Amino acid sequence: MAVPDGFVEVAGLSGFALANGPWYERERDDVMVRGFRAEARHANTLGIVHGGMLAAFLDSAMGMAVWRGLGRRSVSLRLTFDYLLPVRVGDWIEATAEVVASDGTLAQARGRLRGPRHEVLTAAGNFALLKPDRPPRAGQAR
Amino acid sequence: MDNAHSPTVPAVEDDAAPPGFRLIDFRRDRVEVTFNTHIGNLWAKRGEKGTADEFVMGLRVRDKHCNPAGTLHGGMMMTMADLIGGMGAGTLAGIRKFLPTVSMTFDFVAPARAGDWVEGRCEVVRATRSLLFSHIYLTVGAEKILRASAICKIPSGDGPSFGKAKLVDRPE
């Protein structure tokens, strides 16, 4: 299925992310956007994309924002999601995220997911920062 | 070429589910593979009404459920909790329809690893005419790995027909 201009496939995915990919990224004006095309295997029988899939995808974008903003790997501690409107099979879905606060051990981030017609999901997250000397994994894929 | 994105029906693996758990057949007889089937297997056990085991969902953690660190991916935990917030809490509240998720909060308190057997249980906090509030815990043995709080919408009328999942004793 078609991928919008400028998006490249995220390399190095494994496990859950690989099984539910491909996922794409585009960096423009220092803003990173993650996207994926919803397929039947992301949805329920009504053709509505599963809330778990959307949460997983936005979590990955938020973790990436922590990595880009702070240069630190992290693990999710607490995530809160508000589901606004459904998205359907065939929709191109984009995630953006930003770090809003951090100290040496914790980062707080916000994330938004948009579909072609409307905003889909908003999130607030708390992330535990891993030790800076831990080497990044290939591609930082989550 | 890997086959990870292929929409073929995944082979049902022997998850060595503990006694009492039955496979949740989300597919019924449909051809297309939906998310719940794609990420499976998911298992369920029904216990005595009013007990903590009235509805239990089970998952044997596979590599395909994991993150690069080799532990159960947060997305998979959230997916399981989301399902329990709808199916499980709906079952406990006696609501037999599709319950769209309005809001969820997840606390990731411990990791799980490939091979672990994960169980999920829920508690109905309150059901109003239009909303269902629930708590969900995922556990490995006695250890909690995820705490979730969910609000689902209860659609008026019958809501959209969802083709209810059924429990099967053994995969065909």
ipTM: 0.88
Token pair belonging to A99: 């770090």
Indicate the pairing of strand B22-25 with strand B43-46.
antiparallel
pLDDT value of position B84: 94
Q: Which range, of A120-129, B37-46, B121-130, B133-142, averages the lowest pLDDT?
A: B37-46
The string of pLDDT tens digits covering residues B72-111 is 999 999 999 999 998 898 889 988 888 999 999 999 999 9
The pLDDT of residue B21: 94
Report the residue count for chain A.
142
Helices A51-70 and B74-83: angle between axes, nearest 10 degrees: 150
Q: Which of A15, A53, A76 sits opposite B79 (nearest CB)?
A: A53
Instruction: Nearest by CB to B162, from A45, A57, A79: name it.
Output: A45
CB < 8 Å to B38, chain A: 19-20, 41-42
What's the pLDDT at B56?
96
At residue B69, the pLDDT reads 87
Separation CA A96–CA A114 (nearest Å): 9
pLDDT at residue B60 in the model: 96
| pLDDT given for residue A30 in this prediction | 83
Question: Does position A103 have pLDDT exceeding 70, yes or no?
Answer: yes
Q: How far is CA A53 from CA A72, A99, A139, B69, B144, in A?
A: 25, 22, 21, 20, 22
Q: What does the pLDDT look like over A51-97, one tens digit per residue? A: 999 999 999 999 999 999 999 999 999 999 999 999 999 999 999 99
Model pLDDT, residue A16: 92
pLDDT digits (tens, 9 = 90+) for B107-142: 999 999 999 999 999 999 999 999 999 999 999 999
Average pLDDT over residues A10-32: 91
Domains by residue range for chain A, with CATH: 8-133 (3.10.129.10)
> In chain B, what residues touch A137 (CB-CB under 8 Å)?
68-69
* Distance, CA of A41 to CA of A50 (rounded, Å): 9
Chain B nearest C-alpha distance from A111 (Å): 14
| Domain-wise residue ranges, chain B | 22-164
Q: What is the pLDDT of residues B139-169, one digit of tens each?
A: 999 999 999 999 999 988 766 655 567 777 7
Cα–Cα distance measured from residue A23 to residue A15, given in angstroms and rounded to the nearest whole number? 13
Using the predicted structure, report yes or no on whether residue A3 has a pLDDT greater than 50.
yes
Furthest-apart CA atoms within chain A: distance in Å: 46
Q: What is the pLDDT of residue B106?
A: 98
Residue B17 has pLDDT above 60, yes or no: yes
Q: Is B106 within 8 Å of A78 when comparing Cβ atoms? A: yes
* Chain A nearest CA to B108, separation (Å): 5
Which pair of tokens denotes residue A9? 């496939």
Average pLDDT on A22-47 reads: 92
- pTM reported for the whole predicted model: 0.88
B120 chain-A contacts, CB cut-off 8 A: none
pLDDT reported for residue B161: 55
Lowest mean pLDDT among A91-95, A127-131, B34-38, B103-107: B34-38
Check pLDDT > 90 for residue A118: yes
Give the span between the Cα atoms of A25 and B130, in whole angstroms. Answer: 38
- Domain range B22-164, CATH class: alpha beta
